[in-house]
Amino acid sequence: MGKPELLVTPKTVDHINELLNAGADAFVIGEQQFGLRLAGEFTVSEVQEATELIHAANKKVYVAVNALFHNDRLDALDNYLKEMQKIGVDALIFGDPAVLVAVRELGITIPLHWNPETTATNWFQANYWAERGAKRAVLARELSLDEIIEIKENSKLEIEVQVHGMTCMFQSKRKLLGNYFLYRGEAMEIENRKENKKMFLHDKERKNKYPIYEDLNGTHIFSPNDMCLIDELTEFFEAGIDSLKFDGVLQTEDYITTVTNIYRQAIDAYFDQGEDAYENVKEELLEKIEEIQPPLRPLDTGFIFKETVY
């Protein structure tokens, strides 16, 4: 049983250097016209620069093409896939079958990671996409630990699970924020609103604040808490989960780097020194994350130990 991959989301090319030093194994990058809810925006030239940097460290780079594609974006998608082929990235993250069709028609040989967000919920789906060329399935964040393990036991491809960070609760192609402000007669620049970290939906009854932003793909609303499984990793290790993802969307570079290193310590403790070593250090690692956690972002374990309630 080998170590799981520690997958992270850099904000810039320079940030990648810090994350390599922090112990990251793989990186998700891209740009918003092709990928959803990315921590940073990487142009094609920056993808090339990042790939050279990451490959020099013998690590992997995955490019997100998991946007909801409408007809007017398909030509641009074809050109983008050709550029990724030239650069030689290690995988394409996709959810729309249009990407699969384009890859086949264009003769793209880059491995595919299937990520349809909330609908990756059983091993029949995972194996369906494995038979059509996917190397990995990125599971929905709404699954319990038991469901994740069952999928891993019965799937024919790699399994990726998010273990830390925000989770998206809602996406609409509509410009809900922009329309709201226009209704109020207020001018507002909407493009790439994720740089504004002070926009929330307030739920007074539950005393929750839900981060919200708009970009080229529409409106995105996130969970009020951050998932954190730093002290609950043993069963993921034992199950042989292939990739553990930390999603750093809306977080600072320093936070992403520090948390990446903390998960690196957890993985190395378990696999280099044994389960007891991880058990001895996991509470201390959790405390380190709690010390830097933004006050507006309480930590929880997501749906890992509870049923999804809609």
Domains of the chain, each with CATH number or no CATH? 5-167+225-300 (3.20.20.110), 171-221 (no CATH)
CB-count burial class (<10 Å; 0-12, 13-18, 19+) for 307: exposed
Contacts for 37-42: CB closer than 8 Å, 24+ residues apart: 37/168, 37/194, 37/220, 37/247, 37/249, 38/9, 38/64, 38/249, 39/9, 39/10, 39/11, 39/247, 39/248, 39/249, 39/250, 39/251, 39/256, 40/9, 40/10, 40/11, 40/12, 40/15, 41/192, 42/13
Contact 125, 103 (CB under 8 A): no
Q: Which amino acid is at 245?
A: K
pLDDT on residue 298: 86
Compute how many other C-beta atoms are within 10 angstroms of the C-beta atom of residue 208.
14
Please state the rounded mean pLDDT for residues 96-114. Answer: 95
Q: Under DSSP, is residue 240 helix (H, G, I), strand (E, B) or coil?
A: coil
Please state the rounded mean pLDDT for residues 175-188. Answer: 54
Contact 193, 222 (CB under 8 A): no
pLDDT on residue 120: 87
Residue 191's pLDDT band, with cuts at 50, 70 and 90, is very low
Please state the pTM of the whole predicted model: 0.88
Cα 4 to Cα 88, 210, 263, distances in angstroms: 23, 31, 11
pLDDT on residue 310: 43
pLDDT on residue 292: 95
Q: If we measure between CA atoms, which residue out of 90, 92, 75 comes closest to residue 35?
A: 92
Q: Which residues pair with 114 in a beta bridge?
A: 94, 137
Please state the rounded mean pLDDT for residues 100-114. Answer: 96
Please state the rounded mean pLDDT for residues 16-25. Answer: 98
- Per-residue pLDDT of 210-254, as tens digits, reads 677 777 777 777 777 889 999 999 999 999 999 999 998 888 999
Give the count of alpha carbons within 13 A of 63, CB side only.
Answer: 29
pLDDT on residue 190: 43
Mean pLDDT over the full length of the chain: 88
Q: Which amino acid is at 251?
A: Q
Please state the rounded mean pLDDT for residues 196-212. Answer: 64
End-to-end CA distance of the chain: 36
Distance between CA atoms of residues 105 and 110, nearest Å: 13
pLDDT on residue 121: 87
Contact 217, 224 (CB under 8 A): no
Using a pLDDT cut of 70, give the percent of the chain over it: 85
Count of all residues that appear for the chain in the document: 310
- Per-residue pLDDT of 239-292, as tens digits, reads 999 999 999 888 899 999 999 999 999 999 999 999 999 999 999 999 999 999
Angle between helices 74-87 and 97-106 (to 10 degrees): 60
